[in-house]
Structure 1
Amino acid sequence: MKSLSLIAAVAALLVCVAVAPVAAFNTFTITLGPRQENCFNEHLQAHERLDLSYEVAEGGSLDIDFVIYSPNSRPLYNLNGESFATFGFNAEVEGTYVYCFSNKMSASSEKKLSFTVHGPDEKWKIEEKEMKESIDDPTDNLQSEMRILDSGIKAIRDEHAFLTARERRHRATADSTNTRVLYWSLVQALALIGVCFFQITYLKRFFEMRGGRLV
């Protein structure tokens, strides 16, 4: 009986790994051109929770404007010129909530950003965990475990994608800084060589002129 349970658990894990790429993957990447805004909708029931995080990966000063609206078009939360942020809330009323990323402040820079959304789809994770102790049917129990594992894998993948985008942005910033330091060092070296050459030439001519007058 224990061996059957072990085989069932392994099968559940394999099924979850196979299903994970097909399941809803809540990390997205978008590109915003100059003066452009992109909005997304999320329908929530009352008291349902929505969590969102974003990171600007490329473009300009790595800044973006963010705002989320309630169903009555009232701004619930807004940020101006931030590179990354995390926000979560519980819906007060049922309706369509709209969140927007805006690059309207930029006249020439294109921005690329990644964002991760965890909406009502994740709610069943907690519900299944609370229900599984009261389930007597082994098939239902196995299905419950599979859904919990699938949710865990999806959450890990979402977090990994977000951290990867953030690491890529920081690496690009570090590379850009190192390149600027290198170019500035070369400019300083060339300026120093030029000043030395000018001083040597000037002093040489100065002493030649003084020597000629003495003669």
Structure 2
Amino acid sequence: MLARLLSLSCLLTYVAATALTFTLQPNEKSCFYIFNQNQRANIGYYFAVQAGGSFDVDYTIKAPGGRILANEQKQRQGDYIFTADLIGEYEFCFSNEMSTFAEKVVDFEIKDNDEFKASLPNAPAENTAVEGMQASALRIEEKLGQLSNTLQYYKTRNNRNQSTVKSTESRIFWFSVFDVVLMCSMAAFQVLVVKFFFQGSRRQLV
């Protein structure tokens, strides 16, 4: 069972789930941890910025001992698998320190890809039926993983499209308000100019 430690603004809380959605405030950094118990284990992680700003965050992955495995800037999403060579605690940190006012909503999932395979019973020698069942179970698990990733991708695209639509609607509204104010101002200015012109003409005639 995976255990992760969530750190938000120096506040530590244990999280039992392997997938979550969290909010990164401006100038904030959040870190998650997974303890790897096996050498050469395959650890997979997925994240996607659902809303906020330009839909990007900085993230860093560190191995036990502080060695940096990945350090990416302004990424919108990621879906990767890496090999954990060492036994110990791996750190995943997301940073929104580049943003001064926009908060980010991030979906994050991490899992040990070897966990499901390790739970399968070993097939007895020359037992092709059990081997076939194991192979089928692994293929089903792989297809379910692909389906989950596809659903997460469509969820991300839907959220980003909704955010873009709302942003466009807001811009159109305020542009329309500005346009109306500008036209009213121009009309008032033209009326004042014409009034001033005729007032000056009448004085000259008198």
Structure with the higher strand share, 1 or 2: 2
Structure 1 runs of 4+ aligned residues shifted over 6 Å read none
Cα offset for 1:39?
1.7
Cα offset for 1:144?
4.6
Task: List per-residue Cα deviations over 1:112-138 (Å, max 9, x = no partner).
Answer: 10124353247739xx9xx8xx7433x
Structure with the higher helix share, 1 or 2: 1
Instruction: Give distance in 2, aligned partners of 1:30 and 1:51.
Output: 19
Partner amino acid, structure 1, of 2:86: V
**Judging changes above 3 Å, is the alpha-carbon distance between structure 1 residues 44 and 210 closer, same or farther for their aligned structure 2 residues?**
farther
Structure 1 unaligned blocks of 5 or more: 1-24
Match of 2:159? 168
Instruction: Give distance in 1, aligned partners of 2:150 and 2:34.
Output: 21
Match of 1:97? 90
**Preserved CA contact (<8 Å) 2:47 2:79:** yes
**Judging changes above 3 Å, is the alpha-carbon distance between structure 1 residues 196 and 108 closer, same or farther for their aligned structure 2 residues?**
closer
Cα offset for 1:207?
1.8
Structure 2 unaligned blocks of 5 or more: 1-16
Match for residue 205 of structure 2 among 200, 206, 214? 214
1:31 and 2:23 equivalent?
A: yes
Identity fraction in percent:
24
1:50 and 2:43 equivalent?
A: yes
Which one scores higher on RCO, CA 8 angstroms, separation ≥ 6?
A: 1
Partner amino acid, structure 2, of 1:28: L
**Judging changes above 3 Å, is the alpha-carbon distance between structure 1 residues 46 and 213 closer, same or farther for their aligned structure 2 residues?**
same
Cα offset for 1:26?
5.6
Match of 2:72? 79
Instruction: Give distance in 2, aligned partners of 1:170 and 1:122.
Output: 35
Match of 2:180? 189
Question: Over aligned residues, Cα RMSD in angstroms?
Answer: 3.2
User: Alignment partner of 1:176: what SS?
Assistant: helix
Cα offset for 1:176?
0.8
TM-score by length of 2: 0.70
1:204 and 2:201 equivalent?
A: no
User: Alignment partner of 1:53: what SS?
Assistant: strand
Match of 1:14? none
Instruction: Give distance in 1, aligned partners of 2:35 and 2:161.
Output: 30
User: Alignment partner of 1:73: what SS?
Assistant: coil
**Judging changes above 3 Å, is the alpha-carbon distance between structure 1 residues 151 and 83 closer, same or farther for their aligned structure 2 residues?**
closer
Instruction: Give distance in 2, aligned partners of 1:141 and 1:173.
Output: 48
**Preserved CA contact (<8 Å) 1:53 1:85:** yes
TM-score by length of 1: 0.68
